[in-house]
Amino acid sequence: MTFVAEKLETFGQPEICAVLNTALAETAVSTMMAQNFHWNVTGMNFSSLHQQFQEIYEDHFAGQDDLAERIKALSGHADGNLTRMLERSSIEEPQGKATPTDMIAALLTAEETLASTLKSSGTFAANHGDTLTEDLCIARGQAHEKFAWILRAHLR
């Protein structure tokens, strides 16, 4: 075993899996939020928002898988329990019916939260010698920042 692998195993692997499980939970919550909005959006911008929400939930579904597989590669447990995901996530779903503007604003907040979570998760991983996890977090964080930019443009 190399020194870097020993360092990762000894000093950070369980903690890295924990921060990745938080990112996984937040991604799952935002995936369902986007899909819910896709199903329920109405109004003059129906077509563009319906398509945008679908693009978001499809991206996030793939992102969940990437995060879960990284957790498993680190010999961790990818926690897919929905109750624990909701508890772990700092993303809150709107309750009841939402207007298209409310939907956009809620998803914008979720995307910003995810980008921030992934940035700190990547930094944590890098500080523990895990540049592969850092790379995944950077890529996923960039995707969430792009969605945030697109959603923000709808609100201007």
Per-residue pLDDT tens over the stretch 8-35: 444 578 999 999 999 999 999 999 999 9
Tell me the C-alpha distance between 28 and 114, whole Å: 11
| Average pLDDT along the chain | 93
pTM exceeds cut of 0.75:
yes
| Alpha carbon distance, N-terminus to C-terminus of the chain | 54
36 pLDDT higher than 70 = yes
Give the helix ranges, DSSP H, for the chain. 3-11, 13-40, 46-73, 82-88, 100-127, 131-155
The per-residue pLDDT for 11 is 54
4 pLDDT higher than 90 = no
